Homo-oligomer: A and B are copies of this chain.
Amino acid sequence: MGLAVDDLTEMLKGTLEGCVLEIISREETYGYAITRRLNDLGFTDVIDGTVYTILLRLERNQLVQVTKRPSEVGPPRKFYALTDAGRQNLATFWTKWRYVSSRIDKLKEGDA
């Protein structure tokens, strides 16, 4: 299960934001839940502060649209949904990911 490799922070640079976009694309959701989702996915060390900085950046860059809604179990939540620019950005993220990961895998295989 966990077994969690420690200190993935450098390797997550440039990809964590894309993961957050992907999560939002699936379903309108909010910061706290996104952090939990990432932790469940295996990124156990990703902390809420990191996710919120990403969300603020996404909002500033107009890749997401924000709707504040009250919660029954705590303070109000900010729900995020992708804008057209956000969907475009997510698409190019996956294109880049396919490109980079395939090249790295090829280097690992040795046949390159």
Distance A41 CA – B110 CA, assembled complex (angstroms): 11
Q: Which residues of B contact A8 (CB under 8 A)?
A: 96, 99-100
A100 touching B12, Cβ below 8 Å: yes
CB closest chain-B residue, reference A3: B99
Report how far A38 CA is from B80 CA in the complex, Å. Answer: 38
Within 8 A of B (CB), among A70-112: 92, 94-97, 99-101, 103-108, 110, 112
When distances are taken between beta carbons in the complex, the residues of chain B under 8 Å from A100 are: 8, 11-12, 15
Sample of 12 more A-B contacts, CB < 8 Å, known A11-B100, A12-B14, A97-B104 = A5-B92, A5-B96, A8-B100, A10-B14, A11-B15, A11-B96, A12-B100, A13-B13, A19-B107, A23-B107, A43-B103, A101-B104
